[in-house]
Amino acid sequence: MRAPFARIEDRLYQNRYLVDAGRPHIRVRPHQSPSANLLALTRICPAKCYQVNENGQVEITVDGCMECGTCRILCEANGDIDWSYPRGGFGVLFKFG
């Protein structure tokens, strides 16, 4: 019997991502210790692109970014990140299946 609702992870798996090698569209500005907002990104990014590295700094891997803008709203204005859309043809490819 088929479940009535698909899990969110199953739906996200339908998306594809075209990597623009060497040109990430979001960058975390260099920092010694992360701000509270940067740390929050490790929990609220729906694609889990942000992680704390072994030095305690927040870093990003943009592969899988859904361009939702959450991190842009939280951290661009205070200078923690530089945010732009991927170049045309790159980035997330949404599937509806």
Between the CA of residue 26 and those of 1, 3, 7, 66, what are the distances in Å? Answer: 42, 37, 28, 12
**Distance between CA 72 and CA 25 in Å, rounded?**
11
Q: Which of 26, 28, 38, 58 binds ligand SF4 (CB under 6 A)?
A: 26
75 counts as binding ligand SF4 under rule CB under 6 A: no
**Of 17, 66, 76, 82, the one binding ligand SF4 by CB under 6 A:** 66
- Considering only 18, 51, 61, 69, the residue that binds ligand SF4 (CB under 6 A) is 69
64: left (phi over 0), alpha (psi -120 to 50) or beta: left
Enumerate binding residues for ligand SF4 (CB under 6 A). Answer: 26, 45-47, 49, 65-71
